[in-house]
Amino acid sequence: MTTPAVTSTPVQPLLSINRVAKRFGNNIVLRDVSLEIAHGEFLSILGESGSGKTTLLRLIAGFEHPDSGSISMAGERIDALPPYKRRVNTVFQSYALFPHLTVAENVAYGLKVNKTPKAEVEPRVQQSLAMVKMNSFAKTKPSKLSDGQQQRVALARALVNRPRLLLLDEPLSALDANLRREMQFELKSLQREVGIAFVFVTHDQEEAMTMSDRVALLRLGELEQVASPREIYKSPATAYVAQFIGHSNLLRCTVSRGIALCGSIIFTTSEPDGPAVFSLRPEAIRVAGVATPSEHPRFKATVTRQVFQGATELFELDCAGITLISKIYGARVPTGEGDFEFAPAEIIPVKESR
Amino acid sequence: MFSRAYKAAVAIPPIFWVAAFLLTPYLLLFCNSFWSVQGGQVVIHNWGLQNYKNLLHVPVYAEVLLRSMKIAGGVTLLALLLGYPLAYYVAFYAKHKQLLYQLVIIPLWVSYLVRAYAWKTILGTDGVLNTLLQYLHITHGPAEFLLYSPFAVVLTLTHIYTPFAFLPIYAALEHVPRNLIEASQDLGASRVTTFWRVVFPLSIPGVIAGATFAFVLSLGDFLAPLLLGGPSGVMISNIVVTLFGAAYDWPLGAAISVCMMLLVIAILFLTERLEKKWSFT
């Protein structure tokens, strides 16, 4: 369990979710989800509210059971097991600390109910609290703690059991922006330290991007894409992914014999003939000049709006009826009509989303 | 905002009500407990502790008080044993929560007297229960112990006061955050362990409140022992009723009442502190 964070899936995944579906009444929450989680991996399940991300987490934890499909841990089926028979622990969104127990008793809870030898309980509780820097609060009741402190205790309580997999259900959503950023880094380094696989549920794409080895983007109960943050940003699989992760200009083009046409933008592509969607990141659009390589597609556009954002400026471009957002760093931008360009590698064909 | 005169005007009716119907009777009761009766006819205002001494020296009062407390204790225990599982079921498992909740509440709308009489009909020598037992040849001849006994009183009071125990327990259980139960199971505790380590401790304030209701209400009850208790089921309030009525010894009755009141105040004080100790919200 001390393997460092890995990005590729080893031969035997820690957890494998195979074609899982779940519905509540007439509401289909998960359609056909397959996902593998590697040992020691930090995986984020990212999605908007109603995407089914919390349900997926609850299926792994054992609070819900799938209607079809299977969930296996290290090769053994676990989808029929109750939560208390799974080597999975959860950090709940609202922390769910036991109000009648002290911090130390909260952390010791899992050890006690699992009948850990008495001599082992105290040192492990201390060690776990030390990991989240909460030793000095051992005898405090949770109601006396701040949100951030409760968060740490919840983490210590979940990790003390040495689970194979730790589930985190939007644990940072209640924290203010600064504390949140701080906790993101702490969580990430803690995860490296303990080497336990983390499954982190969030609706915040920035949070998912900064912390994860891989991001699984869920939409309407189906996975849109599972990839590393870099890959998911650089080569989004679908129009939805391109829109959801960062911002993206979606170009709906017509391809004919290797030439894509969209408004006044023309470029070569290997996509088959017919309609196609391409993603173009705002920062990929540059002002064309003499230094622009000849293979870069150029196009004429009119600047219709300009938004100052500190280090960057956002421009709204109109090119023959198509609106593009571009993010340009400290360059001289023409007022009115001008020439713009982008590198051919930066226009990514994506699948039209359902 | 409101003028002083307006505030005073709206305060007068409730103050008058409390003074006329609560404070004055209590004061009269308190004074009475230090007076005495002359010739079984007239209450004379010679102040003294004779009534309280009387209570200590005549063993029957202590005996009846002890019996009342035993009956109240039994009722409390039974009401909790019935009320807790019911509240637990309604709070956690019931599909038709509102319906079950109402079913528990509805009997409270029926006159107490009617319900006590109903038990008389069930438990009497020619009653429903005895008839059934004889018909099934379980007993030969009516079982006498059913009616006019402490048993009948405990049974009736349990029936009447269980909803009072149920309500606060149900409220406490409804307020147990469901994610704590999930957290407990997530950490490896089975349903049973979760109940004893999380759900039950968090419902203790409700249990204390329910127990207080059941105990205090049945301790002061006089109708159930009057209708179903017989000589062996007499409770302290029956003695007070007799002293204020046929025996015409208001001062002694008042002394018992004052003692009862002090006892109940002590219980309420104690249980409130216990409830505070066990509440974490």
Which of A51-65, A85-99, A195-209, A278-292 is the least confident region?
A278-292
Using DSSP, state whether A15 is helix, strand or coil.
strand
> Three-class SS of residue A259?
strand
| Residue B126 binned pLDDT confidence (cut-offs 50, 70, 90) | confident
Q: Is A164 on the interface with B (CB under 8 A)?
A: no
**pLDDT at res. B172:** 96
Rounded to 10 degrees, the C-alpha dihedral B149/B154/B160/B161 comes to 150
**Residue pLDDT, tens place only, A181-196:** 888 988 999 999 889 9
Q: Quick check: A5 pLDDT over 90?
A: no
Contact B193 A89 (CB under 8 A): no
Give B212 to chain A, closest Cα distance, Å.
22
Beta strands in chain A (DSSP E): 15-24, 27-37, 42-46, 68-73, 76-77, 88-91, 165-169, 197-202, 214-219, 222-227, 249-256, 259-262, 265-268, 274-280, 286-287, 298-308, 313-319, 322-328, 337-341, 347-350
Q: How far apart are CA A336 and CA A278, in angstroms?
A: 26
Sign of CA dihedral B87, B91, B96, B97: positive
How does pLDDT run across B31-90, given as a tens digit for each residue? 999 998 887 778 888 888 999 999 999 999 999 999 999 999 999 999 999 999 999 999
A3 band by pLDDT with thresholds 50, 70 and 90:
very low
Asked whether the CA dihedral A115, A120, A121, A125 is positive or negative, the reply is negative
Note whether A100 contacts B184, CB cutoff 8 Å. Answer: no
3-class secondary-structure state, position B104? helix
* Cβ–Cβ under 8 Å, residues A164 and A88: yes
The model's pLDDT over A233-288, given as tens digits with 9 standing for 90+, comes to: 999 999 999 999 888 999 999 999 989 988 888 999 888 898 999 999 998 998 88
Q: Chain A residues with CB inside 8 Å of B193's CB?
A: 113
Rounded Cα gap, residues A294 and A343, in angstroms: 10
A15-25 pLDDT per residue, tens: 999 999 999 99
Give the closest-approach CA distance of A89 to chain B in angstroms: 6
User: Are the beta carbons of A84 and B186 separated by less than 8 Å?
Assistant: yes
Q: Please give the order of strands across the beta sheet that includes A222-227.
A: A88-91, A165-169, A197-202, A42-46, A214-219, A222-227
Mutation target vs A (from B176, B184, B185, B187; most A CBs, 10 A cutoff): B187
Minimum distance, in Å, between the CA of residue B186 and any CA atom of chain A: 5
How many Å apart are CA A206 and CA A229, to the nearest integer?
Answer: 10
Residue of A nearest to B191 (CA): A84
Which tokens in the block code for residue B93?
């498992």
Residues of B within 8 A of A157 (CB-CB) are: 187
Q: What DSSP line would sit under B158-213, residue for residue? A: HHHHHHHHHHHHHHHHHTS-HHHHHHHHHTT--HHHHIIIIIHHHHHHHHHHHHHH
Among B236, B234, B230, B231, CA closest to B124: B230
- Rounded to two decimals, the ipTM of the complex is 0.84
Q: Does A114 touch chain B (CB under 8 A)?
A: yes
Tokens 């109708």, residue located = B223
Residue A168: which pLDDT band, with cuts at 50, 70 and 90? Answer: very high
Cβ pairs bridging A and B (under 8 Å):
69
Q: Is B2 left (phi over 0), alpha (psi -120 to 50) or beta?
A: beta
Chain A environment of B185 (Cβ under 8 Å):
62-63, 82-84
Whole-Å CA distances, B88 to A190, B96, B97: 40, 14, 11
Dist. CA B150–CA B123, nearest whole Å: 13
Distance from the Cα of A86 to chain B's closest Cα (Å) equals 8
Facing residue for A92 by CB, picked from B183, B201, B281:
B183
Structure tokens at A73: 């841990």
Q: What band does B278 get if pLDDT is binned at 50, 70 and 90?
A: confident
Residue A98, chain B, CB below 8 Å: the answer is: yes
Radius of gyration (C-alpha) of chain B in whole angstroms: 24
Q: Which tens digits make up the pLDDT trace of B132-171?
A: 888 888 888 777 778 888 999 999 999 999 999 999 999 9
Are the beta carbons of A89 and B177 separated by less than 8 Å?
no
| Per-residue model confidence as pLDDT tens digits over A317-343 | 988 888 899 987 766 777 788 888 999
Positive or negative, the CA dihedral B207, B208, B213, B217 is positive
> Do A49 and A112 form a contact (C-beta atoms < 8 A)?
no
The per-residue b/e assignment along A264-278, b for 16 or more CB within 10 angstroms, e otherwise, is ebebeeeeeeeebbb
Whether A109 and B201 lie within 8 Å, measured CB to CB: no
Tell me, what amino acid is at A114? N
Whether A174 and chain B come into contact, CB under 8 Å, resolves to no
Q: For chain B, say whether A161 makes contact (Cβ under 8 Å).
A: yes
The pLDDT, as a whole number, for residue B130 is 85
And the tokens for B1? 């905002």
pLDDT computed for residue A11 by the predictor: 67
Mean pLDDT of B12-29: 94
Could you give the 3-state DSSP secondary structure of residue B96?
coil
For residue A109, which residues of chain B lie inside 8 Å, CB to CB? 184, 187, 189, 197
Contact A100 B280 (CB under 8 A): yes
Global pTM value: 0.84
Length of chain B: 281
Q: Do B140 and B58 form a contact (C-beta atoms < 8 A)?
A: no
Q: What CA–CA distance (Å, rounded) separates A342 from A323?
A: 16
Closest to A223 measured CA to CA, from A52, A76, A60, A91: A52
Q: Helix H segments across B220-249?
A: 223-224, 236-244
Q: For residues A87 and B186, what is the distance between their CA atoms, to the nearest angstrom?
A: 9
Counting other chains too, the contacts that B30-33 makes at CB distance below 8 Å and 24 or more residues apart are B30/B254, B30/B258, B31/B254, B32/B250, B32/B251, B32/B253, B32/B254, B33/B251, B33/B254, B33/B255, B33/B257, B33/B258
Q: How many whole angstroms from its chain centre is CA A118?
A: 39
- Distance CA(A221)–CA(A223), nearest Å, equals 7
